[in-house]
């Protein structure tokens, strides 16, 4: 019986390690290809460890892909989106979790149901609306929506967090004459810090990786974000795999790094969103 | 006795204050819902009955947009439905089974669980543009790693995304690579299954298979249910693969619905027709979700309720 258990657990490790190799391989292949000279990239059998690594590929990719400007553009969208999302989702979630008001549950239900609506349905009228306002070709369409609740998903998640905090805390503050804004800001917000980090991290990844939004709303190459800039780059340098892989690595590096740093919070956040069923 | 009215008045001002504060603080979310969900939804419905093409003033054309899609005037509509259905009905079951298996393995009492979980999740945070670029390179028919390896071990190679019969399976395979977030959702669900259930099976002399099939699977059905629905909603709206990798080809075999819609709207400026296309998608997803919901009472098990 004991032996069978050992064999079983060896099998589990084996399967997991094999899976891990397959999951890491594409990323390894990307980095490897980004460090090979063009001539070696097609050599058979394939070279696994670049020797010497061609860091020059990166400087060449950076010369073609204006990384600095695209990064600046991405941050121009990212920072206000982050602030808007954190502020308005936490304040709205507070209203849904901690205040009793008529119509609350209906509105909450509507907002959550709205999450099921395919974005295909709202995409075109929203685009036409922004065009009508003359904001097509600006960053506003990509930023402003985050200042209106920051997404149903985040409101739902933060509400879950608020609900775990005992009501005595706000009642005591209320008796002392504190208003809702003060209770929200000074008492509850510090208590849901870890949830706010989760929202912040997810927002970072979402905006950094967003592809369709910038594709639809940005007109000129000058305004491009990293994601859309890379897409352009792929179209122009089709067969130059060493450069394409260097550029892909550069664009992927920040999100992977952010994830590895904030891993604990990611897992916490995903766990919460998945348990709603 | 005369104290009651005072209390009541105090209570009602309290409630009125709360009502005001509630609406005020929830205003961003409520306005956001109205401006960015409700209004566009209605507008999209109305536009789907017009011939709006940006340069003209829209006029009502009745059901024409819908009719032209279904009567074959635009033959691409059915092609895109076929391609998308194929992809969704291949990748959602594959993802569900694969992610569930992976999560079950990770849920064993193993060391380095965090390490493995991190590895399986990393592909999910890689920007989709980078993901598609990496896979275009891996799947490259002449020089990509996959064909090179197949050739080396003497297996037949394939044209992958450049051949009609294999393009969708290739994209589904690629989809499996980014399934990490579903794995994490399953894993957290698995960790919530009470150990006393497993102990009960042990007392009854059940083995590992009994535990898995009679406890783990039923207890996880709500999570599976949630993931399947989200999988369908997201799968039907897949876009980047077609846009970046295949341009819908070869021969429209990977003409994803969302890519088709995007092209009608933003390349050909046929806004009215694109709205009709969007509403058909909405109906498809709605019907599918309703069907899954209706069948859920036969297979989704909620802890603490005797009825199923």
Residue B304's pLDDT band, with cuts at 50, 70 and 90, is: low
Residue B8's pLDDT band, with cuts at 50, 70 and 90, is: low
Nearest to B208 by CA among A127, A25, A146, A5: A5
Residue whose tokens read 């002449």 = B142
Q: Does domain A61-274 have CATH number 1.10.3720.10?
A: yes
Nearest to B249 by CA among B79, B39, B65: B79
pLDDT score, position A134: 93
- Shortest CA gap B2–chain A (Å): 24
- Chain A residues close to B28, C-beta within 8 Å: 88, 91-92, 147-150
Residue spans per domain, chain B: 69-299
- Shortest CA gap B210–chain A (Å): 16
Spatial distance between the Cα atoms of B227 and B186, rounded to a whole number of angstroms: 9
pLDDT digits (tens, 9 = 90+) for B228-286: 988 999 999 999 889 988 888 788 899 999 999 999 999 999 999 999 999 999 999 99
Least confident of A133-142, A195-204, B194-203: B194-203
Answer whether A114 sits within 8 Å of B148, measured CB to CB.
no
With pLDDT > 70 as the criterion, what percentage of chain B qualifies? 94
Residue whose tokens read 């150990």 = B195
Nearest to B67 by CA among B44, B49, B52, B53: B49
Spatial distance between the Cα atoms of B176 and B173, rounded to a whole number of angstroms: 5
Q: Who among A9, A30, A148 is closest to B31 (CB)?
A: A148
Answer whether A111 sits within 8 Å of B279, measured CB to CB.
no
What the block records as the tokens of A188 is 């509850």
pLDDT score, position B307: 44
The CATH code belonging to domain B69-299 is: 1.10.3720.10
Contact B96, B225 (CB under 8 A): no
Could you give the angle at which helices A241-261 and A56-64 cross, rounded to 10 degrees?
100
- Chain A residues close to B129, C-beta within 8 Å: 209, 211, 227-228, 230-231, 234, 248, 251
Q: Who among B35, B123, B282 is closest to A121 (CB)?
A: B282
Asked if A211 is an interface residue toward chain B (Cβ–Cβ < 8 A), one would say yes
Asked if A14 is an interface residue toward chain B (Cβ–Cβ < 8 A), one would say no
Return contacts of A170-174, CB within 8 angstroms, 24+ apart.
A170/A98
Report phi then psi at B159, rounded to 5: -90, 0
pLDDT digits (tens, 9 = 90+) for B143-193: 888 888 888 888 888 888 888 888 999 999 999 998 888 888 888 888 888
Residue of A nearest to B124 (CA): A256
C-alpha angle with apex B93: B87 to B95, nearest 5 degrees?
85
Spatial distance between the Cα atoms of A84 and A143, rounded to a whole number of angstroms: 8
SS3 of residue A36 by DSSP: coil
Nearest to B57 by CA among B67, B47, B66, B65: B47
Measured between its terminal Cα atoms, the distance across chain B in Å is 51
Residue A199 reports pLDDT greater than 50? yes
Spatial distance between the Cα atoms of B3 and B9, rounded to a whole number of angstroms: 10
Q: Which residues of B234-261 are buried (b: 16+ CB within 10 A; e: fewer)?
A: ebbbbbbbbbbbbebebebbbbbbbbbb
């Amino acid at each position: 019986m004991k032996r069978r258990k050992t064999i079983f657990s060896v099998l589990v490790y084996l399967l997991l390690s094999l899976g891990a190799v397959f999951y890491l391989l594409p990323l390894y292949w990307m980095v490897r290809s980004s460090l090979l000279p063009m001539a070696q990239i097609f050599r058979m059998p394939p070279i696994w460890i670049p020797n010497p690594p061609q860091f020059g590929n990166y400087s060449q990719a950076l010369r073609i892909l204006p990384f600095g400007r695209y990064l600046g553009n991405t941050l121009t969208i990212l920072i206000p989106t982050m602030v808007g999302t954190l502020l308005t989702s936490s304040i709205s979630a507070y209203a849904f979790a901690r205040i009793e008001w008529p119509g609350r549950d209906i509105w909450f239900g509507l907002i959550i149901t709205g999450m099921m609506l395919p974005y295909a349905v709202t995409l075109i009228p929203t685009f036409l609306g922004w065009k009508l306002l003359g904001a097509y070709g600006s960053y506003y369409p990509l930023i402003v929506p985050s200042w209106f609740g920051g997404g149903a998903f985040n409101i739902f998640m933060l509400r879950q967090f608020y609900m775990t905090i005992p009501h005595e805390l706000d009642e005591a503050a209320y008796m002392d004459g504190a208003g809702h804004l003060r209770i929200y800001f000074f008492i509850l917000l510090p208590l849901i810090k870890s949830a706010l980090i989760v929202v912040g991290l997810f927002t970072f990844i979402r905006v950094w990786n967003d592809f369709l939004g910038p594709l639809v709303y940005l007109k000129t190459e000058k305004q491009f974000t990293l994601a859309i800039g890379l897409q352009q780059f792929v179209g122009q340098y089709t067969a130059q795999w060493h450069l394409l892989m260097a550029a892909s690595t550069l664009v992927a590096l920040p999100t992977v790094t952010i994830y590895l740093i904030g891993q604990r919070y990611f897992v916490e956040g995903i766990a919460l969103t998945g348990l709603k069923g | 006795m005369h104290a009651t009215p005072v209390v009541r008045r105090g209570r009602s001002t309290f409630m009125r204050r709360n009502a005001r504060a509630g609406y005020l603080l929830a205003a961003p979310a409520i306005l956001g819902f109205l401006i960015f969900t409700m209004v566009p939804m209605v507008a999209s419905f109305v536009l789907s009955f017009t011939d709006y093409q940006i340069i003209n003033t829209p006029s009502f054309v009745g059901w024409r947009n819908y009719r032209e899609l279904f009567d074959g005037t635009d033959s691409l509509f059915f092609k895109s439905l076929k391609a998308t259905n194929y992809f969704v009905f291949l990748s959602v079951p594959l993802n569900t089974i694969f992610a569930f298996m992976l999560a079950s393995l990770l849920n064993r009492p193993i060391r380095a669980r965090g390490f493995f979980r991190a590895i399986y999740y990393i592909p999910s945070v890689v920007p989709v543009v980078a993901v598609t670029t990496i896979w275009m390179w891996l799947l490259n028919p002449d020089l990509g790693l996959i064909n090179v390896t197949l050739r080396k071990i003497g297996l037949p190679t394939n044209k992958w995304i450049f051949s009609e019969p294999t393009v969708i399976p290739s994209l589904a395979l690629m989809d499996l690579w980014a399934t990490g977030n579903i794995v994490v959702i399953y894993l957290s669900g698995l960790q919530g299954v009470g150990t006393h259930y497993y102990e009960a099976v042990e007392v009854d002399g059940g083995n590992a298979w009994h535990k898995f099939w009679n406890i783990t699977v039923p207890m996880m059905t709500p999570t599976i249910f949630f993931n399947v629905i989200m999988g369908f909603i997201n799968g039907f709206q897949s876009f980047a693969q077609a846009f970046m990798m295949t341009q819908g080809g070869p021969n429209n075999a990977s003409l994803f619905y969302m890519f088709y819609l995007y092209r009608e709207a933003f390349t050909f400026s046929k806004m009215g027709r694109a709205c009709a296309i969007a509403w058909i998608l909405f109906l498809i997803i709605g019907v599918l979700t309703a069907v899954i919901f209706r069948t859920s009472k036969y297979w989704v098990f909620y802890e603490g309720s005797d009825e199923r």
